[in-house]
Structure formats: structure tokens, C-alpha cells
Amino acid sequence: MQINYATIGDYLIKIKKDTLYAKLFHKNLLRENKEKYKNPYLEKRILEQIIQNTDSTSVALKNHYLNVVKSIQKENNLKLNTNQKVIYENQELKRKNIKLKREIIYIIAIILSITIISLLIIYSII
């Protein structure tokens, strides 16, 4: 939902043609995001708007944008690695489950065999 706030900056620049108020809005939104939300996707969106829609040639701004993109990529890679680990562990659990089912079937077969043999021996004695 916070990313929707970033569209106000687009509105101010493209429709209202008020770049000064848009810059002020972006600056306040960046500060608010840093203090409250700490949402890297919102920060990335705001920085993209600033870079694309203004005549900003600030190296610090572009470096900040690249750092935000790198942190998002790092977070996504971490999530991907975690997801792959969960998938692997899930496959391992499935294999163990199949193995345990086979063992249970063998045990039941052995118990049934012993029971039938015992019943036959008792029946033949009687």
C-alpha cells in the first residue's frame, strides 16, 4: 500500500507539472519510509521517480539507488535460497515417508505371516 503513495509523485510531476512540490513530496516520503516503514521497494520506486522525472545528475543519488537495488537483490536471493532449501527438505521428507510406508507394510506382512502360520500350527495340533 505504501508504494501507492509513490504514484502521487508521478501525478505531481506529470499532471500538475510542479517539480518543486514533487521533490519536496519525494524527500518527505523517503524520510517517512526511512523512519517508519523501512520498505526498500518503496524507496526504490521513489528514487526511480526522482532519477527519471527530474534533471538530477547527483552521483550520490544514483549510488544510493544502486545500493537499494543491491539490497533488494540480496533479500530476494536469500528468499530464493531459503525456498530452495525448503523444497529440498520437503523432497527428503517425502523419500523418508515412502521408506517408512514400505517398512510398515513389511512389518504388517511379517505379523500376518506369523499369525497365519501360528493358526495353521494350532489348527493342525487340534
Domain residue ranges in the chain: 1-56, 71-126
94-116: b or e for each residue (b if 16 or more CB lie within 10 Å)?
eeeeeeeeeeeeeeeeeeeeeee
Tell me the whole-structure pTM to 2 decimals.
0.61
pLDDT, position 1 = 57
User: Does position 64 have pLDDT exceeding 80, yes or no?
Assistant: yes
User: Does position 2 have pLDDT exceeding 70, yes or no?
Assistant: no
C-alpha cell at 86: 525448503
Residue 22 pLDDT grade (very low, low, confident, very high; cuts 50, 70, 90):
confident
CA torsion 99-102-107-110 (nearest 10°) is: -140
Phi then psi dihedrals of residue 18, to 5 deg: -110, 85
Give the mean pLDDT of 24-47. Answer: 87
Separation between Cα atoms, residue 43 and residue 45, nearest integer Å: 5
